[in-house]
Structure 1
Amino acid sequence: MKKLQVTTFAVSIRKQCLKGTQMPFDLKDALLAPDRVLVFCDDTEIAGQPVETLNPDLRILVAVQLESDHYASVSAEMSAWLFEAGVTEFHATDIVSGKGQWKNKTITQRQAALRFVADTLTGSMVRVDGIWMPKGSYPAYKKEAEKLGSVGVGFKGGLRRVFLRCLMERLSHETRPVALVLDQDKSQSGIVIETNWPEGGYLVGGGPITAPSHLIIGLQMADAMAWAINRFQIKRTLYDGDEHSEFDQIAMALVAMIPGKLTNVLIEMAA
């Protein structure tokens, strides 16, 4: 492990010192306000070691950055598509597997749906950030972090905490208002603002916001990106042999269109 990278992790995983609160908040209106930076986050896991070049039990968190001025039209277009299709959410895994609300859709319809989301995302995203770590690496990072104080969270919670702190540090330099929205960790009926982040007080609403993905189009876009990164990593050996499916092609194309380069925020912060 690189020294600076470990130090960044150790500092970022420290305990939150305030209690979180729930409050009424019109998130949809907040996301449509002009001239705002919008960041939507989701996560994915590659269980086991399906590809020998990957570390086992890899967890990946992804943040997709959009502009609110463009989000209004994108959200309307995607919502209209969902209404016409008779479903309430673009969920990439369900679309590909034909499960959930997509159970009765043909493979052609499902391919068209995912391609539509990917094309919309390609024309909208400004930046994509990520953090990834194999589960087996976490104990060493946590041990190093505990030299600075108690950690008190496991692998998933710890990686989420570090990801958010790295994102909030970068986004704090924006000159425009910033909304940071995450898919819910646990089932919740509405919008929750995590006000237990002193460093996140500048964010729209006063902190990172969690929400059920079916309520927020931006979270569905982040879900598609997380799925694409996962799928590309698992299937990448098939591309050279032209053995990939249409869904694999959509994943590869979406990953290829990430602006610049997908960078691990932990490494970026340590640089």
Structure 2
Amino acid sequence: MMEEMLTNPLATLILAHADDKLLLGHVQSDWTGLGPILEEDIAASAMAQDDLSHALMLYQYLGERYGLDPDVIAFEREPSDYLCCDLVTHPDDFDWADALVKRWLIAVFTSLGIDRLSTVDDKDLAARCNRIKPEQALQIKHLDAWIQRLGRGNEESNARLQSALNRTSELAGMLFEVPGHRVAEQPDVACGRDEMFNQWLDSIQQTLASAGLTAQFTLPERGVTGGRRGQHASHFHEQLDEMTEVRRLSPGATW
């Protein structure tokens, strides 16, 4: 059940990705109708929908293994049992440059994480991850193109994107915090944190160099505790309260 899931090393790793997807899909849906151009308005909504779908696939996997309703996993845990990185819910103040940079950094991380989960010796989990991969790749292709388009665009677009990177880069390292404050040890797939960070950094820096942008990223010290271990910033709690409001008003309601 819930306690067993929250103390299982592999389950918490899956939860971290599912929670990232759930909260990111919720936050990014705020951009529906507000994109700077119609193309990006539609793309933002489509990516948010993808994120929610991917979260559901992972919650369903966990639900089948621990006898839990996926909606209960998604909406009825204690706040400290959500394992998303706080970068996901960090406010963008409806500055599209901030929203773009945040989504891009998270998308590249997620792609690497889903690749790793697909190597776990579990055919069902691998199949779900393999369904997510191509959609994640399309997101990255779209976001990479915008980073390069704005970085190379003109002085204003480059400056605004660089400012967004400066505001966001110091938070990005917490994506790599090992999840699960109730877990004594992590599975092999989570142990290559440094290797995964270097892969992520290579991909990010390659795109930034092509776009004429710069940023410095560092891994947090292993003793630093954040959202992946249940210690969330106030903006997470605000988003969680908003996202679960209907569920709390009518627990167990169905369509």
Structure 2 length as normaliser, TM-score? 0.29
Q: Which has the higher contact order (CA 8 A, sep 6+)?
A: 1
More helix by share: 2
- Bigger Cα Rg: 1
Structure 1 length as normaliser, TM-score? 0.28
